[in-house]
Amino acid sequence: MKLKLNKNIAIKVMCGIGVILGTSGCINDKSPKVYEDAVDIPVNQTMRAELTAPPNVPTPVGRRKAKNLIVDMEILELEGELADGVRYMYWTFDGYVPGSFIRTVVGDEIEFHLKNHPQNKLPHNIDLHAVNGPGGGAVSSLTAPGHETVFSFKVLNPGLYVYHCATAPVGMHIANGMYGLILVEPNGGLEPVDKEFYIMQGDFYTEGDFGEPGLQPFDMKKAIEEDADYVVFNGHVGAMVGDKALEVNVGETVRLFVGNAGPNLISSFHVIGEIFDKVNVEGGTLVNENVQTTVIPAGGAAIIEFKVDAPGEYLLVDHSVFRAFNKGALAQIEAKGEKNKKVYKGKIEEGIYEPEGGAIQKMPIDEAEVAASKPPENLSKEQQMEMGKNVYGRTCVACHQSSGQGVPNAFPPLANSDYLNADVDRAIDIVLHGKSGEITVNGKKYNSVMTAQVLSDREVANVLTYVYNSWDNNGTVVTEEMVKKQRSKR
């Protein structure tokens, strides 16, 4: 399809002014030549595209002219980690989920080299939503194992676009990890920011339930029914948490290139503790401002910008929140720098408020279901910790934080905790049944509520073993028998 632009739009696209993807500037004698039609933009010289693995992005294009841009990408079918203790056979572009980030500028002529590794078992292709042409390139790019296909196209429309495999069954290829993002910058480039990151959401469907260990095959029935076991950022649970969190400094402007591969679910993307200053809606030229949560459709994307005003930990989530805290759609930004009390003072007063009395509150549960657990296995301490880390990431991290440091004046620390280390049975009981009221941890008083956790005996044993063997705690190994014993007391 040929894109025809009127003169005013062409000026915005070609010269980087106005609102197109947030660019600004003015026409002068040094500005690039304006073309009525983007297809007429000439290229000068050939260059090889810089491709980056998530969450990294290539260098901004700046004011470079359109070029013959060579994109070299390899398809790899490989086994990787979907969650702690859970393995999955991914199909990938360049060995990553999502695949390598591609950065171009309007007018580039892309010479795309798609290579299918000879050890792969299946043919694959690529459909780039930035392409104006049959199948987005899929028609021209079907590649058998051990072969290479070269095809070409010209990028005409600025924006952030999804690419994915479109070999039948298309949904299965996407669900196995074959997707990524391609950015087409307007001539003149995007406005500079301090930090840029690449994030892409995807839903996964496995024969086993969430967290079930071992190599998990793809489940077509669950995929057709849109019953996702995992909804994750960048290919696996915990891809950007803890020591892999995205790092920024207070006062910096941050740009997120966020895609949603689906194949089924819409993303309600939100950063807890931040307001998006600008959002390029669906990755296009429409800019929305002062946004709390932005909807990203399956097969869509968004460019999100905000300034970080206060230090601390910010959670990136799909605000369909059970996906975040129970299926893996959670990441972290760690902001470092001086506190800004003009923006955020934190807690200035605390007290007790019990309009419904002091009883422990918990959601109604099926006690028989909670008590049931899988047949016991002889797990090593290391295996328990791996599985416990997974449970911690989806149930505990929001309150107690990735390193167990807790939240000052709100949630007590688990790291080097005298209260925790003094009584393991008490710790088990709190996880099983919850606790409210005042406690003292490491000399500081806390008055908050922990709700009862709906976990199996095995999950309780594993998560407590992980906690007790992390962050300078005493190394206790908690067994399922210990949990069963404590559960039976009520």
Which residues make Cβ contacts (< 8 Å) with residue 383, sequence separation at least 6? Answer: 85
User: What is the per-residue pLDDT for 352?
Assistant: 60
354 in any annotated domain: no
| List of E strands, 84-158 | 86-93, 102-105, 109-116, 127-128, 148-154
Helix 457-468 to helix 381-395 angle, to the nearest 10 degrees?
Answer: 100
DSSP readout, 318-342? ESSHHHHHHHS-EEEEEEES---TT
> According to the model, what pLDDT value does residue 230 have?
97
Q: Which residue has the tokens 């941050």?
A: 254
Determine, yes or no, domain membership for 357. no
Q: Is 165 labeled as ligand-binding?
A: yes
Task: Say which CATH number the domain at 151 has.
Answer: 2.60.40.420
Determine if residue 319 is labeled as part of a ligand binding site.
Answer: yes
Q: Are residues 73 and 194 in the same domain?
A: yes
**pLDDT, tens only, 337-355:** 998 888 887 777 766 655 6
Q: Is the same domain home to 71 and 185?
A: yes
Q: Are residues 52 and 103 in the same domain?
A: yes
Residues 320 and 396 in one domain: no
Is 359 inside a domain boundary? no
Q: What is the pTM of this model?
A: 0.72
**Would you state the pLDDT for residue 38?**
86
Continuous segment of H or E residues that includes residue 484:
helix 480-487
Clarify whether residues 323 and 403 are in a common domain: no
CB atoms closer than 10 angstroms to residue 202:
31
- Together in a domain, 339 and 373: no
pLDDT of residue 153: 97
Instruction: Tell me if 361 is assigned to some domain.
Output: no
Residue 387: inside a domain: yes
Per-residue confidence (pLDDT) for residue 136, from 0 to 100? 95
135/170 same-domain check: yes
Check whether residue 335 and residue 373 sit in a common domain. no
Q: Are both 140 and 15 inside the same structural domain?
A: yes
Same domain for 299 and 396, yes or no, is no
Given this model, what pLDDT does residue 189 score? Answer: 94
The CATH number covering residue 451 comes to 1.10.760.10
One domain for residues 169 and 113: yes
Which pLDDT score, from 0 to 100, does residue 32 have? 55
**Residues in the chain with pLDDT < 70?**
1-34, 36, 350-377, 398, 409
- To the question of whether residue 236 is assigned a binding role by annotation, the answer is no
The reply to whether 198 falls in a domain is: yes
Annotated binding residue at 433? no
Q: Which amino acid is at 424?
A: V
In this prediction, residue 350 carries a pLDDT of 64
**Residue 356, pLDDT score:** 57
Q: How many domains does the structure of the chain reveal?
A: 2
Same domain flag for 261 and 375: no
Q: How is residue 425 annotated by DSSP?
A: H
Neighbours of 130 (CB within 10 A): 24
Q: Could you tell me the residue range of the domain that residue 241 belongs to? A: 1-346
Of 346, 376, 403, the last residue of a domain is: 346
Answer yes or no: is 270 a known binding residue. Answer: no
Task: Give per-residue pLDDT as tens, 431-446.
Answer: 998 888 889 999 998 8
Residue ending a domain, among 317, 346, 375, is 346
